[in-house]
Structure 1
Amino acid sequence: MADNLPDYIPSLDLADFRSGDPARKAQFVKELGDAYQSIGFIALKNHGLNAEETKALYADVQEFFQLPDPAKQAYEVPELAGQRGYISKGKEHAKGRNTGDLKEFYHVGQEVAGEDPVKDQYPANIWPQEVPRFAQSTMKAYRTLESAGQDVLRAIALYLELPENYFDDKVVNGNSILRPIHY
């Protein structure tokens, strides 16, 4: 098996899938499926988050993690078991290890609009008051990457010879998170 593994991480361009060109789309689907079967992951470019949005996201996340520990800990809600908000250093540990990881992170999750009953199952996001743009930049990234993920699932469906929208109804208001991490 190891002899069959590529010695690189395949880098795919989501613009090919979204192009409207059937040949480019088919090539993306084939390369994605082949990569997932051989190595299990890819690098994805043109996912929709542009350089300016990425820069703003990183700046806001960095600004939050530079706050003093007591300020950050105000956004840590133990009752949520890490589903939303800040999680301080040492709370997670590697499998089989007792020593806590030297990382802190922040969870931003799905915000359900409308009357979907799943809305009641998700805790509300927690927004740090000290970084006023944090909610805007993280939710922009969340929504953009969620859309990219939906297109990747559509490509997987095609690779598996299923209808392109096979997974769409299975991921509406899905329980995913955006997790900025600081080591």
Structure 2
Amino acid sequence: MVLKALPALSMRDRRSDREGFARAMGDSYARFGFAIVRDHGLDPGVIERAVRATKDFFALPEETKRRHHIAGGAGQRGYIPFGVEAAKGADKVDLKEFWHVGRELGEAHRYRAFMPTNVWPEEIATFREDVYGLYAALDALGLELLESIAVFLELPRDFFREPVRDGNSVLRLLHYPPTPPKPEGVRAEAHEDINVITLLLGAEEAGLQLLTAEGEWLDVNPPEGALVVNVGDMLQRLTNHRLRSTTHRVVNPAPERAHLPRYSIPFFLHFAPDYLIKTLPNCVSRETPDRYPTPITAQDFLLERLREIRLA
């Protein structure tokens, strides 16, 4: 029987029953690759300011926005125009534009060569403060969620702390413009995420769907203010598919809502560039042999995937 809706997990339960929360979240990931998390404790003001900055930027004239596009930058920082990114293997580009913000590092940092300098639009005075404030908040919350994943996998609670320290994580501000009557393509074609886990704000607006193990598309409709958190390909590889990276998409709106834009903000939490993604021994058995006997660094894996989605 296919579930009609994802259950919502409360972070309050995590704080009162770490083991129980870890089991519930791990079970949701093992079945769906997705979990809905409410009561996450993010400051509503931080979220509101970042959403306002997002809307203000995408309301700028096209020529102004394009001044912040970095040619040859593999889409890792600044503005990525409408109609550039495509899902792996897709014939058509996605109907979206977006902005990428990465980790702020000092010039002498050992990962500086892997993480480009952020771009900040001078047209919006508080953009940097408002958007990077949300980046930092989601970065901290992601580590909390990874602690629960570690508990579910019967690893030390702090197992992920060093692998993601100063990781190559990216905050994406997403704008799906109103859709024409007969659009070419969809807002986001079916795909899987590259990273470790994704923390998504703004999924209350209809459109996000995941593909269940039974082959059915399931609408993901979180309660207002809740996060959608899904497994990415890096974590799937590390766990030998015990936790699966699920295919998902954003479909075009119903005709009566086609005139409305859609905004969302995913935080793609990554390992550090030099972290070696090597299958966890406790995720390998006679029944589940190692699918990935050759390890790969997080940076090499990222570059491989960026080429596949036409950003590099």
Scaled by the length of structure 1, the TM-score of the pair is 0.89
Q: Does 1:7 align with 2:21?
A: no
Unaligned runs of 5+ in 2: 177-312
Q: Does 1:16 align with 2:16?
A: no
Q: Secondary structure at the match of 1:181?
A: strand
- Greater strand share, 1 or 2? 2
Per the alignment, residue 170 of structure 2 pairs with: 177
Checking the alignment, whether the CA contact within 8 Å between 1:6 and 1:38 is kept in structure 2 is no
Distance 1:16 1:112, change over 3 A: farther
| Structure 1, 91-100 or 133-142: larger mean CA deviation | 91-100
Distance 1:170 1:16, change over 3 A: same
| Structure 1, 110-119 or 130-139: larger mean CA deviation | 110-119
Q: Secondary structure at the match of 1:57?
A: helix
Checking the alignment, whether the CA contact within 8 Å between 2:76 and 2:100 is kept in structure 1 is yes
Instruction: Tell me the amino acid that sits aligned with residue 6 of structure 1.
Output: L
Cα distance in 1 between the residues matched to 2:59 and 2:37: 29
Distance 1:153 1:14, change over 3 A: same
Per the alignment, residue 148 of structure 1 pairs with: 141
Please point out which of 153, 157, 168 is paired with 1:164. 157
Distance 1:48 1:120, change over 3 A: farther
- Greater helix share, 1 or 2? 1
Q: Equivalences for 1:1-183 in 2 at 5 Å?
A: 3=1, 5-17=2-14, 19=15, 21=16, 24-113=17-106, 115-183=108-176
Cα distance in 1 between the residues matched to 2:109 and 2:164: 13
- In the TM superposition, what whole-angstrom CA distance separates every residue of 1:3-57 from its partner, at most 9, and x where no partner exists? 3x5332121222332x3x3xx2222111111111111111122334222221111
Deviation, structure 1 residue 113:
4.7
Instruction: Tell me the amino acid that sits aligned with residue 7 of structure 1.
Output: K
Cα distance in 2 between the residues matched to 1:92 and 1:36: 27
Checking the alignment, whether the CA contact within 8 Å between 2:79 and 2:99 is kept in structure 1 is yes
Checking the alignment, whether the CA contact within 8 Å between 2:80 and 2:98 is kept in structure 1 is yes
Cα distance in 2 between the residues matched to 1:102 and 1:30: 37
Q: Secondary structure at the match of 1:182?
A: strand
Checking the alignment, whether the CA contact within 8 Å between 2:50 and 2:131 is kept in structure 1 is yes
Deviation, structure 1 residue 143:
1.0
Distance 1:115 1:169, change over 3 A: farther
Cα distance in 2 between the residues matched to 1:159 and 1:114: 37
Unaligned runs of 5+ in 1: none
Deviation, structure 1 residue 58:
0.9
Instruction: Tell me the amino acid that sits aligned with residue 161 of structure 1.
Output: E
Instruction: Tell me the amino acid that sits aligned with residue 162 of structure 1.
Output: L
Per the alignment, residue 192 of structure 2 pairs with: none
Distance 1:11 1:115, change over 3 A: farther
Q: Secondary structure at the match of 2:72?
A: helix
The count of aligned residue pairs is 176
Deviation, structure 1 residue 172:
0.5
Deviation, structure 1 residue 91:
0.6
What's the C-alpha RMSD, in Å, of the aligned pairs? 1.7
- In the TM superposition, what whole-angstrom CA distance separates every residue of 1:106-141 from its partner, at most 9, and x where no partner exists? 001111258540123210110000111111111111
